[in-house]
Chains A and B, each alone.
Chain A
Amino acid sequence: MPEPLLQISELNVAFDTARGEVRPVRDVSLSIYPGQTVAVVGESGCGKSVTAMSILRLIPSPPSKVLSGSIRFQGRDLLSLSEKEMQSVRGKEIAMIFQEPMTSLNPVYSIGDQIAEAVVLHQNVGSREAMRIAEQSLRDVGIADPHRRMREYPHEMSGGMRQRIMIAMALSCKPKLLIADEPTTALDVTIQAQILELLRKIQRQTGMAIMLITHDLGVVAENADVVNVMYASRIVESATVEDLFDRPKHPYTQGLFRSIPKLGTTAKRLDTITGTVPNPAKFPAGCKFHPRCDKMNGDPICATVEPLLREIAPGHWASCHHVENFANSPVTLPQLQHKREDMVPLATEVKA
């Protein structure tokens, strides 16, 4: 069995806050294989972005600290690298794009300068060659007239264009892993479709792995190979995308599926999950989902013992006392090499 490109094992992250310690990431384990798209899905505050930022060690310490766990990337533990070694990983081996393309670009430098800066930093090339690479990467992400765009500034561009530029910058050093944190959340649906199509195309061409952080189950369904559902700082379910959407096991995942309105359905009332996402500063005891859970039925174990992620069926992990066979299932680290079949080209692109 080949090695995963990235393997996070039992990662625990804590923040020191004025109101005491909070734990945004608890016992998170996941692996990403080359060429895979692995989604981490959950609602705000569930810990998905902190997990992603921890990989690149982008969260200042203090206030954050890694309590335990390891993040192995191509055989090296990123958590034990020096800051200097880490700089050669960031941007070059692992690149990241963010939700808000406006605040992630520097407003006072031209687009060309910003991309070329990353290229000069990570590749042993002169500034002229760096500019050429920058222009090519703009062309690769479908920007018309890249030569002119190189001299423009972020404020001269629309949101979709800026996100393309972020992607161009991230891809200019040919990373092996792209972490995309809500890459299309701020964009309109037609622009979202363009950007996701672009990421799929680049992945097919380069074999890059993608860690896709999102709250949108539609985006997950169309793009991910493997899905991890996070709730209250933990992964509560992990499976292949087909398995998860066909047979969701955790009551939270099931509730999420029921509560989203789908196009073309007529039901007037939606099913809901009662209550709200718990505040990390005061998590309930036991299973963190039990106050909102419809499967609990007053079972005292849910309110006292927090279930660990167990492999309840081959290749399907969940953490719920009320999933069939839960008590007899082994506690293993989620590892799924699954890659969905190349989808028939979804798009009939209309150029404009």
Chain B
Amino acid sequence: MSDTPGQNGSPLIQVRDLKTYFPIRKGILSRTVAHVKAVDGVSFEVAEGKTLGLVGESGCGKTTVGRTILRLIPATSGEVIYRGQDFFHYRGEELRKLRRHMQIIFQDPVSSLNPRMTVGNIIGEPIEVHGIAKGSEKVDRVASLLQRVGLDPGYASRYPHEFSGGQRQRIGIARAISLSPEFIVCDEPVSALDVSIQSQILNLLNDLQDELKIAYLFIAHNLAVVEHFSDDVAVMYLGRIVEKASGHELYRNPKHPYTESLLSAVPEPDPRPKKRRIVLGGEVPSPANPPTGCAFHPRCPLARIAAENASAKDTVEITSGGQTFRVLRKCVEEAPPLEQKQGEAGHLAACWVTK
């Protein structure tokens, strides 16, 4: 099953209407009283050897998306199609075989490596479990993997605490590529690293992709890093994708007001910044109780500007942070679909106001 050939031109991974809800339990019977809709209807595709960047602020659900795809968290509904097969339907041995093609690199290189295992065992364990090699052949493989990620092969007998953060992340990468996967979820792989080390790790991931044709789902909150690294970028807000486009297009021509404010909030390494900053008021609402309609409407500058030019029956007053605003009725009542906007083909955004 794991060797199902991919049809040419079809995406490696297709995610369709993925939902992950976490129950909120209360009372002595732990009855489920509500759900946190961490991921609420997310769809995207990742092509072979390409990178899809997933950005958003903390709590937007980006990490949950990555983990749900790999079935580290059970999905509530939706599909993940891997090479034309529904990944969520596999069980037991077949699932295990398929899993070697999908790996993950975690943000925190300290807690994601077992402190009691040597580096050689950490990297060698998946090789042995999947029956790829054992004994001296395994040792050779581990040595070449260490070399591939820029570490001394002699480090195999050492323990994780003997390494710096950047080196530990290299160990995590070596483990992830040890089974020659086709798809890796990179969950904030450089956020915990120093500036001068971040670029080393990003270059390494880039080289591995060119060499091994790995597809990445690159999850991060740093827009500059994501834009630099990804072919396409999806922006998440409160469990949904609000905009998706090529990295270049998204930066040059953002369509969703949330993307625009996110881009404008990134401090530029230039003492004379030219761009206008849109400082959003308030904070991301709780996903346990998201706003109705478009989840962004209580903070949205466009919904208010549009209301000024609309007739009274198309607008409605909302109270947010102790202040009252008039916004478009549609933004409050109906969730906008993710649809093609003016610009590059494939530039999607979910907004009632922008064209």
Residue numbers of A with Cβ under 8 A of B are: 43-44, 144-145, 158-161, 188-194, 196-197, 215-222, 241-242, 245, 255-257, 259-274, 276-277, 340, 346-352
Contacts of B166 in A (CB 8 A): 276
A217 (CB) vs chain B CBs: closest residue: B269
By the criterion CB–CB under 8 Å, are B279 and A263 in contact?
A: no
Return the contact of A189 from the options B221, B229, B281 (Cβ within 8 A): B221
By the criterion CB–CB under 8 Å, are A349 and B279 in contact?
A: yes
CB distance from B213 to the nearest CB of A (A): 16
Given A190-B279, A221-B267, check contact A271 B299 (CB 8 Å).
Answer: no
B212 contacts chain A at the CB level, 8 A cutoff: no
Contacts of B269 in A (CB 8 A): 217-218, 220-221, 245, 257, 260, 262
Given A221-B268, A245-B269, check contact A263 B251 (CB 8 Å).
Answer: yes
CB distance from A287 to the nearest CB of B (A): 16
B27 contacts chain A at the CB level, 8 A cutoff: no
Extra inter-chain contacts (17) besides given A218-B269, A245-B270, A274-B200, CB under 8 Å: A43-B195, A188-B57, A193-B264, A194-B281, A221-B271, A222-B267, A222-B268, A222-B271, A222-B273, A259-B195, A262-B228, A264-B252, A269-B203, A272-B199, A276-B196, A347-B278, A350-B261
CB distance from A70 to the nearest CB of B (A): 31
Contacts of A159 in B (CB 8 A): 58
Q: How far is the CA of A352 from the CA of B284 in the complex (A)?
A: 11
CB distance from B269 to the nearest CB of A (A): 4
Q: How far is the CA of A43 from the CA of B263 in the complex (A)?
A: 25
By Cβ-Cβ distance, the 4 closest A-B pairs, closest first, are A218-B267, A352-B282, A352-B281, A261-B228
By the criterion CB–CB under 8 Å, are B196 and A221 in contact?
A: no
Given A264-B227, A346-B273, check contact A145 B322 (CB 8 Å).
Answer: yes
Return the contact of A192 from the options B167, B203, B263, B265 (Cβ within 8 A): B265
B207 (CB) vs chain A CBs: closest residue: A269
CB distance from A346 to the nearest CB of B (A): 5
B197 (CB) vs chain A CBs: closest residue: A276
By the criterion CB–CB under 8 Å, are B57 and A189 in contact?
A: yes
B269 (CB) vs chain A CBs: closest residue: A217
By the criterion CB–CB under 8 Å, are B298 and A261 in contact?
A: no
B280 contacts chain A at the CB level, 8 A cutoff: yes
Given A216-B267, A245-B270, check contact A351 B323 (CB 8 Å).
Answer: yes
Contacts of B277 in A (CB 8 A): 193, 346-348
**A–B pairs, 30, beta carbons within 8 Å:** A44-B194, A160-B283, A190-B57, A190-B262, A190-B279, A192-B267, A193-B264, A215-B195, A218-B266, A218-B268, A221-B267, A222-B267, A222-B271, A222-B273, A241-B271, A259-B195, A260-B198, A261-B224, A262-B228, A264-B252, A270-B202, A270-B203, A272-B199, A277-B196, A340-B271, A346-B276, A347-B278, A348-B278, A350-B261, A351-B281
Contacts of A43 in B (CB 8 A): 194-196
Residue numbers of B with Cβ under 8 A of A are: 57-58, 164, 166-167, 194-200, 202-203, 206, 221, 223-225, 227-229, 248, 251-252, 261-273, 276-284, 298-299, 301, 320-323
Contacts of A222 in B (CB 8 A): 267-268, 271, 273
- Total inter-chain residue pairs, C-beta < 8 Å: 162
CB distance from A348 to the nearest CB of B (A): 5
B263 (CB) vs chain A CBs: closest residue: A263
By the criterion CB–CB under 8 Å, are B299 and A260 in contact?
A: no
By the criterion CB–CB under 8 Å, are A260 and B273 in contact?
A: no
Q: How far is the CA of A214 from the CA of B255 in the complex (A)?
A: 32
Q: How far is the CA of A197 from the CA of B199 in the complex (A)?
A: 29
Q: How far is the CA of A260 from the CA of B268 in the complex (A)?
A: 11
Q: How far is the CA of A191 from the CA of B164 in the complex (A)?
A: 30
Q: How far is the CA of A349 from the CA of B277 in the complex (A)?
A: 8
Return the contact of A263 from the options B197, B221, B268, B278 (Cβ within 8 A): B268
Q: How far is the CA of A196 from the CA of B57 in the complex (A)?
A: 17
Q: How far is the CA of A262 from the CA of B269 in the complex (A)?
A: 8
By the criterion CB–CB under 8 Å, are B228 and A349 in contact?
A: no
By the criterion CB–CB under 8 Å, are A245 and B279 in contact?
A: no
B276 (CB) vs chain A CBs: closest residue: A348
CB distance from A309 to the nearest CB of B (A): 21
CB distance from B70 to the nearest CB of A (A): 25
Q: How far is the CA of A222 from the CA of B265 in the complex (A)?
A: 11
Contacts of A220 in B (CB 8 A): 269
CB distance from A227 to the nearest CB of B (A): 9
CB distance from B316 to the nearest CB of A (A): 16
Q: How far is the CA of A259 from the CA of B225 in the complex (A)?
A: 11
Contacts of B261 in A (CB 8 A): 190, 350
Q: How far is the CA of A262 from the CA of B247 in the complex (A)?
A: 12
Q: How far is the CA of A263 from the CA of B279 in the complex (A)?
A: 18
CB distance from B145 to the nearest CB of A (A): 20
Contacts of A272 in B (CB 8 A): 196, 199-200, 203
By the criterion CB–CB under 8 Å, are B266 and A189 in contact?
A: yes
Contacts of A190 in B (CB 8 A): 57, 261-262, 265, 279-280
Q: How far is the CA of A188 from the CA of B191 in the complex (A)?
A: 12
